[in-house]
């Protein structure tokens, strides 16, 4: 399944079609794809794993599911789910994907602050959403698109190895520092993924995903074909990825100021009064 960084790359490649008219429409989609014929693409956007083409009054949403793909100015042997033709013979083809239409403005349909690669990304909001699901496995929480739009299974496995957290850890058991690392690395690794994929070296940088040995300590990696409610493949190292299952112990109540022993009060010495002989 293409993850968020791959959709950002598609968005950049398809930016050439912005402000251009759709001349031809074809494909085996059951949606009313003919409504795009003769319409002008107003904007090319993405949100997480969704690729979006905006028209006046509606938008096209493409989700690549597990096996979807695209081709620009070239085709494949299999029929496209949707093909959009433009002037000069250019074409945008989509295969084995979900085609849907969104009515109205995209800003009304999407929370851009949940997209880990968006300029509007809000890490504080992500932390609040995580704290609201303390019983969730971290492996499931990272795949929740309403919290981490764009994070997929590769990013999930690599982020958890990077921050040394076992995938079956509970969100509510993570110390505050680990929770912050989880949120920060979901975004940072996504941008690393983007750069590596554009350079054609993504798989060379995988540490645990589809691997058998941990590069950090040499231990044999654990693997599960289906883990958590999401039921996705998981790779992890039992030697260096710690399981967090119990809630962190509460901190002992502290004092604002440290206790300081009060020194004993010194009594002022007064010499005894001497009487002159005249008063004896």
Q: Where are the domains of the chain?
A: 4-110, 113-236
CATH superfamily of 4-110: MutM-like, N-terminal (3.20.190.10)
pLDDT at 263 over 90: no
Q: 4-110 and 113-236: same fold?
A: no
Q: What is the DSSP letter of 248?
A: P
Q: Which CATH architecture has domain 113-236?
A: Orthogonal Bundle (1.10)
Instruction: Name the nearest CA neighbour of 52 among 86, 85, 90, 97.
Output: 97
Tokens in use for 18?
Answer: 């912005």
**Which pLDDT value is given to residue 205?**
98
pLDDT above 80 (res 24): yes
Which pLDDT band, with edges at 50, 70 and 90, does 259 fall under?
very low
Rounded Cα distance, 225 and 280, in Å:
110
Predicted structure pTM score: 0.87
Average of pLDDT values for 109-135? Answer: 98
- At 151, list the tokens: 């994070």
The pLDDT of residue 260 is above 60: no
**H or E segment to which residue 156 belongs:** helix 153-162
Task: Give 55-73 pLDDT, tens digit per residue.
Answer: 999 999 999 999 999 999 9
Query: What does the pLDDT read at residue 246?
Result: 86
Residue 268 — pLDDT band, cuts 50, 70, 90?
very low
Query: Any idea what DSSP says for residue 29?
Result: -
Predicted confidence band of residue 249 (pLDDT cuts 50, 70, 90): low
Given a cut of 70, whether residue 43 has pLDDT beyond it is yes
SS3 63: strand
Return the pLDDT at 172. Answer: 98
**Among candidate residues 78, 72, 64, the one with its CA nearest the CA of residue 92:** 72
Q: Is the pLDDT of residue 139 over 50?
A: yes
* pLDDT tier for residue 252 given thresholds of 50, 70 and 90: low
**pLDDT tier at 247, thresholds 50, 70, 90:** confident
pLDDT for position 193 = 98
């Amino acid at each position: 399944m293409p993850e968020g960084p791959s959709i950002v790359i598609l968005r950049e490649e398809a930016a050439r079609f912005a402000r251009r008219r759709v001349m031809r429409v074809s494909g085996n989609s059951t949606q009313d794809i003919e409504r795009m014929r003769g319409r002008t693409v107003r904007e090319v956007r993405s949100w997480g794993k969704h690729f979006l083409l905006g028209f006046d009054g509606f938008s096209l949403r493409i989700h690549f599911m597990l096996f979807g793909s695209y081709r620009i100015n070239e085709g494949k042997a299999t029929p496209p789910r949707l093909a959009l033709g433009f002037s000069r013979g250019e074409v945008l083809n989509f295969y084995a994907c979900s085609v849907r239409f969104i009515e109205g403005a995209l800003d009304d349909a999407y929370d851009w602050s949940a997209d880990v690669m968006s300029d509007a990304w809000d890490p504080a909001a992500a932390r609040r959403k995580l704290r609201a699901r303390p019983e969730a496995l971290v492996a499931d929480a990272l795949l929740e698109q309403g919290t981490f739009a764009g994070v997929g299974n590769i990013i999930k496995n690599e982020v958890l190895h990077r921050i040394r957290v076992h995938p079956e850890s509970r969100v509510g058991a993570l110390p505050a520092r680990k929770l912050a690392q989880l949120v920060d690395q979901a975004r940072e690794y996504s941008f690393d993924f983007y750069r590596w994929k554009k350079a054609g070296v993504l798989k060379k940088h995988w540490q645990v995903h589809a691997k058998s040995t941990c590069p950090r300590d040499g231990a044999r990696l654990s693997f599960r074909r289906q883990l958590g409610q999401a039921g996705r493949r998981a790779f992890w190292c039992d030697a260096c990825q710690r399981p967090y299952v119990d809630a962190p112990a509460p901190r002992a109540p502290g004092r604002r100021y440290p206790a300081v022993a009060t020194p004993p009060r010194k009594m002022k010495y007064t010499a005894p009064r001497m009487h002159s002989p005249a008063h004896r």
